[in-house]
């Protein structure tokens, strides 16, 4: 069976550095940090008091107020990103076969804010008749509901589900969408991820694991991937969405094509619940799997958008894996961690970073890794590699690879390249 080709025809983003794709990309290229004090709740007693929050968001501008009340914030974010991507694709929804359009969205945690609100309300009730819960509690909270809302909103009857693999969730969503389309099971899939876990439970839980930076006096410089002084990641929220489309379907309707999705790899560390393999074995395998799937050699890649969370162990293991996979070519690559600016969007990270990789390929621009200071060097990291520290770099990008790794040892990698007939 000949596999079909898959292209990207629409993009949508709602991130800590921009409420649209254009604003997000502009600020990433400029090296703008999205970090600041937490406003979603009083974090004054927490070890970490800052995060990368979405700014100036009003769901009523995008979603009917009555419907928005039925949705957790993560689902609202998902809908906004999906709306932008669908509009950007310029699909005529009256003409396309909606039975062949699906929605696959990745979510790492889901409706934790709704869960906390309902359970705090339950714990504080003095009603002797019985506990009172919002009738929308369950459908607001469950992790699959964002993809459900999007399909209902547009009447898409194709494959519809959610992937959950911690911080690899939305890369898994993209990989699944890629495979459904190239196998002929769908013409178009709205693929992406969303997360809104900046809450007492989210921040408190990650603090208890010593996973978050505690640089409360300097939030905008706290996410510093590959620097010796890195002390953990910064929690972030938002959503990213890509319209993935079968090539001939896209050409038939005259769609603009951003890039071609050519490969996806998956692997497991099989090592530890939360720590990556110290030698990067799972990271190495997932990149090799993606390259094999794409039918590409390591030398065909020009840019890697790394997982690069700014954690002591994770950054080192990913660098080891890159050197193992790419050999001498590793020194000709550009590498950057956009988490230095967006923070870590957890289940939405893969979608946002795949979107960034698409734009890097389209525009021949590598966004930077910010916050690295001269002399702040880790003896375990090879600084002869080009981490694109400080400022964006113009260069030809034939193909870009995007890595995401999640708690549980879940690894996912996707490859985008310039579209050519």
- CA nearest neighbour of 73 among 11, 14, 120, 29: 14
Examine the residue annotation and report whether 221 is marked as an active-site residue of this protein.
Answer: no
- Please give the structure tokens belonging to residue 353: 């970073």
Contacts of 323 (CB under 8 A, 6+ apart): 330, 382, 385
Which residues have CB under 8 Å from 12's CB, separation 6+?
Answer: 21, 80, 81, 82, 83, 84, 85, 86, 88, 192, 239, 240, 241, 242
Beta 188-195 vs 101-106: how paired, if at all? parallel
Decide if 272 is catalytic: no
Under 8 Å between Cβ of 106 and 176: no
Beta strand ranges found along 30-113 (DSSP E): 36-37, 50-51, 101-106
User: How many beta carbons lie within 10 A of that of residue 105, not counting itself?
Assistant: 37
Q: Which of 249, 307, 372, 410 is catalytic?
A: 307
Q: Which of 344, 372, 410, 413 is catalytic?
A: 344
- Annotation says 241 is catalytic: no
- What is the distance of C-alpha 287 from the center of its chain? 17
Q: Is 392:370 a contact under the CB 8 Å cutoff?
A: no
| Spatial separation of the C-alpha atoms in residues 405 and 259, rounded to whole Å | 23
In degrees to the nearest 10, what's the CA dihedral of 16, 102, 110, 416? Answer: -40
The beta strand positions in 107-229, using DSSP E, are 160-163, 188-195
Active-site position among 167, 241, 249, 413: 167
The residues that are catalytic are 167, 307, 344
């Amino acid at each position: 069976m000949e596999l079909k080709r898959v292209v990207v025809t629409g993009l949508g983003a709602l991130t800590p550095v921009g409420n649209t794709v254009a604003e997000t990309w502009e600020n990433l290229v400029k090296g703008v940090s999205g970090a600041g004090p937490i406003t979603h709740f009083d974090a004054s007693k927490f070890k970490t008091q800052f995060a990368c929050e979405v700014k100036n968001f009003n769901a009523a501008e995008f979603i009917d107020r009555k419907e928005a009340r039925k949705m957790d914030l993560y689902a609202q974010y998902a809908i906004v990103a999906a709306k932008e991507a669908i509009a950007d694709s310029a699909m005529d929804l009256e003409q396309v076969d909606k039975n062949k359009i699906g929605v696959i969205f990745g979510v790492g945690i889901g409706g934790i804010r709704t869960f906390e609100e309902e359970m705090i309300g339950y714990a504080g009730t003095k009603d002797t008749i019985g506990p009172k819960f919002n009738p929308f509690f369950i459908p607001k909270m469950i992790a699959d509901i964002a993809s459900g809302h999007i399909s209902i909103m547009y009447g898409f009857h194709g494959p519809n589900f959610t992937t959950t693999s911690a911080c690899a969730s939305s890369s898994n969503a993209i990989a699944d969408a890629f495979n459904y389309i190239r196998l002929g099971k769908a013409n178009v899939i709205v693929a992406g991820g969303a997360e809104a876990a900046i809450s007492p439970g989210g921040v408190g839980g990650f603090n208890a694991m010593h996973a978050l930076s505690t640089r409360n006096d300097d939030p905008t410089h706290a996410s510093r991937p590959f620097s010796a002084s890195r002390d953990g990641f910064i929690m972030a929220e938002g959503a990213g969405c890509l319209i993935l489309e079968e090539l001939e379907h896209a050409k038939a309707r005259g769609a603009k094509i951003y890039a071609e999705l050519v490969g996806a790899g998956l692997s497991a560390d099989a090592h530890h619940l939360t720590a990556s393999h110290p030698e990067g074995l799972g990271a190495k395998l997932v990149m090799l799997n993606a390259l094999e799937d794409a039918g590409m050699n390591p030398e065909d890649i020009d840019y890697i958008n790394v997982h690069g969370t700014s954690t002591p162990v994770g950054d080192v293991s990913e660098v080891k894996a890159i050197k193992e996979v790419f050999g001498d070519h590793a020194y000709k690559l550009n590498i950057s961690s956009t988490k230095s600016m967006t923070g870590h969007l957890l289940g939405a990270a893969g979608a946002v970073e795949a979107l960034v990789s698409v734009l890097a390929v389209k525009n021949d621009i590598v966004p930077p890794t910010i916050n690295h200071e001269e002399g702040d060097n880790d003896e375990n990291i090879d600084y002869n590699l080009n981490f694109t520290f400080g400022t964006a770099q113009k260069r030809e990008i034939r193909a870009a690879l995007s890595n995401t790794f999640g708690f549980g040892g879940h690894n996912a990698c996707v490859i985008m390249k310039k579209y050519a007939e």
